[in-house]
Structure 1
Amino acid sequence: MATPDKIDSLSRASLEPAHIPKAHNITPPSSPTMPRHSHTGATDFLRPGISKIIVPGFATAASLSEISVSGLGPSTQGPLESTAMDDTWPDQNEGVVAAPYLYLHRTPGKGIRTQVIEAINVWMAVPLDRLEIINEFIHMLHTASLLIDDIEDNATLRRGLPVAHNVYGVAQTINSANYFYFKAIQEIQRLGDPDAMEHAVNELLQLHRGQGMDLYWRDSLICPSEDDYLDMIRNKTGGLFRLAIKLMQTQSRKPSTPDWIRLADVFGILFQVRDDYQNLCSQEYTTAKGYCEDLTEGKFSFPVIHSIHCDPTNLDLINVLKQKSSDSDVKQYAVHCMEKTGSFEYTRMFIGQLIMEARGLIDNAGANGGSTEYLHKALDKLSI
């Protein structure tokens, strides 16, 4: 098992861990508080410039057949010309197919990826119309992938609300997610750049490879090594960060920019390891996703992997994962097992090292010109 001194595979051997406060103990709620949707307007959740269509059960919804750039309307010429939907496909039918996607779409996440993309564009100077296409593409992929993840993980809550497949059914939700994968591909075609399409396909393959290994370990009850887990994260979680950077590089107006791929990988690892930690230690996550949901899923998360490898003769934790229990007392015992092996402290230290490496990469880029303020602010959101 890797120790903090051994994390040279991530180029952090010389970094001292940042001070990160210990997590407070959290109490599993008997019934999570479920925030209600706001009904101030059915179009409040729409991204700028997206047209309206009628959705059964909703007043209006987003039709992604015509996505404008920064609210200016679709381009009328060149590679950015909108790939309009077949006129024979009724808007009402589009609303039916899109409904599970839109259900999740209107409850936004933290928006870290968008903030990172816009901050890096200080250096890349991608034209705003093309940057909007890249942002929309990444947003579609991310939202659609969450719909599938929740089904594969048998989740019950997402962002404090019932998961889409418990509202619309598994079959309709799978179809809606797959539909928006292709809508995203249709959107990236507007760039008119074969390199952009190649990057998109390659990173989508990597994403599914990473997800496949994560599911395999869970379903086969195989605890991966820390290095194997980090490789999986690079494919799965780091893929969307990396893809955004590669797409921006194809559209940049500057002949050369800093190499952002390493920073994208660090952001991806940080994003996932922090999520693993918060899932087991954060009251906010308990409200949004349920108490220690990763244990009910049976997931080999970063703290779990560390704990199992620290004491391989103790079979308690791996057997809790095997049960996929929703019992709060059982999950509290699993948390106690990880506390005994120092796994949460180790995870906090690892997160601190990732943050320090990311800040170093950002500052190195800043030395070559360009403001680092917004990238550091995005990184601040990933601190514990």
Structure 2
Amino acid sequence: PALVILTSKLCGYGGKRAIIYGAIIELIHTATLLHDDVLDNAKLRRGRPSVNHLWGNEPCVLLGDFFYSKAVEIMGEDGDKELIKIVSGATVEVAKGEILEILKTGDLNLSEEEYFEIIGSKTAALFSASCEIGAVLAKKGKKTRDLMKEFGKNLGYAFQLTDDALDYLSTDMSLGKKIGTDLKEKKVTLPLIYALRMAKKEEREVITSIFKKSRISAEDFSKVKGIVESRGGFAYTYRIAAKFIDEAKRQLMKFPHSPYKINLTRLAETICERKS
């Protein structure tokens, strides 16, 4: 929602529809989180018991469906076909990303290109759409729309990269969910992809043997984390995230100075600084 409102103001729009579309994006984002928690069998969300943990998978899925349907209803009432196309397109991309991630679960041969395809769909697409909405509300042309789309996409990539590093490096308390969740679910993310590329043969064998287990223990997590750290997986991930933030800030430089530009710049900078 903040991206919708700030980008719309950056582009010169001051009306109330930014709030409406901010709410639409929040409903869709919440729906994806509810469904994601079911897929991941998550017990925590933002430090509190997840909906599926409290009430089961069926109510959680239906609640996610309700939030998405409500977003569609609000868009229908607003009646802007261009914005409906943007939001629905982003939602399709999110679903595609989640499906691809499931198909690639446990695949230690996952390439960096495939990883970026996954996070480009499941995370960056919604960030990109949120920012493009701001330009459309301000009735800007293709050049400005493309700038906002790229700005949002770069933020989304940086956000997911940071999230994937924090899944190893943070604590349960600060992250708001169990750390090591990705590894325990055998999701292969950039820190591990890079570490496997740089690892010695025996280190790759350790990781491969752990991935063959039906259940990954805390000791297994510590072993993998140690290899990833020693092989520079976390440092590499943060370097790539920082490059995406630099690119996002370059796109903002093409806009005149304003409080909204300052806030969006700071928002971008905090993505790589976050601990949760």
Q: CA deviation at 1:293?
A: 1.6
Aligned residue among 299, 307, 320 for 2:187: 299
Aligned partner letter, 1:293: T
Aligned residue among 142, 162, 167 for 1:274: 162
Mapped contact 2:45–2:176 kept (Cα < 8 A): yes
Q: CA RMSD in A?
A: 2.3
Normalization by structure 1: what TM-score?
Answer: 0.65
| 1:323 aligns to 2:213 (yes or no) | yes
Aligned residue among 64, 69, 78 for 1:182: 69
Task: Give the Cα–Cα distance (whole angstroms) in 1 for the partners of residues 197 and 62 of structure 2.
Answer: 39
Q: CA deviation at 1:365?
A: 2.7
Match of 1:226 in 2: 112
Match of 1:75 in 2: none
Q: Mean alpha-carbon deviation: is it higher for 158-167 or for 221-230?
A: 221-230
Normalization by structure 2: what TM-score?
Answer: 0.88
Aligned partner letter, 2:126: L
Mapped contact 1:308–1:318 kept (Cα < 8 A): no
Q: CA deviation at 1:217?
A: 0.5
Task: Give % identity.
Answer: 22
Task: Give the Cα–Cα distance (whole angstroms) in 2 for the partners of residues 115 and 321 of structure 1.
Answer: 39
| 1:117 aligns to 2:4 (yes or no) | yes
Cα distance change, pair 256–349 in 1 and its aligned pair in 2 (3 A): closer
Q: CA deviation at 1:316?
A: 2.0
Cα distance change, pair 298–360 in 1 and its aligned pair in 2 (3 A): same
Aligned partner letter, 1:118: I
Match of 1:42 in 2: none
Match of 2:135 in 1: 249
Cα distance change, pair 383–324 in 1 and its aligned pair in 2 (3 A): farther
Match of 1:383 in 2: 272
Cα distance change, pair 323–125 in 1 and its aligned pair in 2 (3 A): farther
Aligned partner letter, 1:302: L
Match of 1:142 in 2: 29
Match of 1:354 in 2: 244
Mapped contact 1:122–1:370 kept (Cα < 8 A): no
Aligned partner letter, 1:372: K
Match of 1:50 in 2: none
Any gaps of 5 or more consecutive residues in structure 1? Answer: 1-113
Task: Give the Cα–Cα distance (whole angstroms) in 2 for the partners of residues 180 and 159 of structure 1.
Answer: 19
SS of alignment partner, residue 323 of structure 1: coil
Task: Give the Cα–Cα distance (whole angstroms) in 2 for the partners of residues 332 and 295 of structure 1.
Answer: 11
Mapped contact 2:8–2:133 kept (Cα < 8 A): no
Mapped contact 1:234–1:269 kept (Cα < 8 A): yes
Aligned partner letter, 1:296: K
| 1:202 aligns to 2:116 (yes or no) | no
Task: Give the Cα–Cα distance (whole angstroms) in 2 for the partners of residues 382 and 202 of structure 1.
Answer: 25
| 1:311 aligns to 2:196 (yes or no) | no
Task: Give the Cα–Cα distance (whole angstroms) in 1 for the partners of residues 64 and 228 of structure 2.
Answer: 35
Mapped contact 1:295–1:325 kept (Cα < 8 A): no
Q: What does 1:80-99 correspond to in 2, within 5 Å?
A: none
* Greater helix share, structure number: 2
Mapped contact 2:108–2:193 kept (Cα < 8 A): no
Task: Give the Cα–Cα distance (whole angstroms) in 1 for the partners of residues 214 and 152 of structure 2.
Answer: 32
Q: CA deviation at 1:344?
A: 1.3
Q: CA deviation at 1:334?
A: 0.9
Any gaps of 5 or more consecutive residues in structure 2? Answer: none
| CA deviation map 1:283-330 (0-9, x unaligned) | 266651113221112111110111123338423224434436452211
Q: CA deviation at 1:253?
A: 4.3
Task: Give the Cα–Cα distance (whole angstroms) in 1 for the partners of residues 192 and 45 of structure 2.
Answer: 22
Cα distance change, pair 255–292 in 1 and its aligned pair in 2 (3 A): closer
| 1:340 aligns to 2:230 (yes or no) | yes
Mapped contact 1:292–1:331 kept (Cα < 8 A): yes
Q: CA deviation at 1:281?
A: 0.6
Structure whose alpha-carbon radius of gyration is higher: 1
Aligned partner letter, 1:209: K
Match of 1:105 in 2: none
